[in-house]
Amino acid sequence: MTLEPGTKLGRYEIRSQLRAGGMGEVYLAQATKLARKVVLFSRIYWQL
């Protein structure tokens, strides 16, 4: 699931995708209330 810049997840707003791989995706985001940059990790879960 790729998140587009501007997508809001709770109190965070996605700025850009930093990396993507077999384990998930890493995004640069902005904490809207604190005006602070954060990194969010989105995991990919595989069901066997």
Return d(Cα 48, Cα 43) in angstroms, integer. Answer: 16
pLDDT digits (tens, 9 = 90+) for 7-25: 999 999 999 999 988 888 9
Domains held by the chain: number: 1
**Residue 3 belongs to a domain:** no
Tell me 1's DSSP state: -
Q: Model's pTM, two decimal places?
A: 0.80
**Residue 48 belongs to a domain:** no
**Residue 25 belongs to a domain:** yes
Which amino acid belongs to residue 20?
Answer: A
pLDDT at 45: 75
What is the residue range of 17's domain?
Answer: 8-43
**Residue 2 belongs to a domain:** no
**Residue 22 belongs to a domain:** yes
Nearest CA-CA partner of 16 in 44, 24, 25: 25
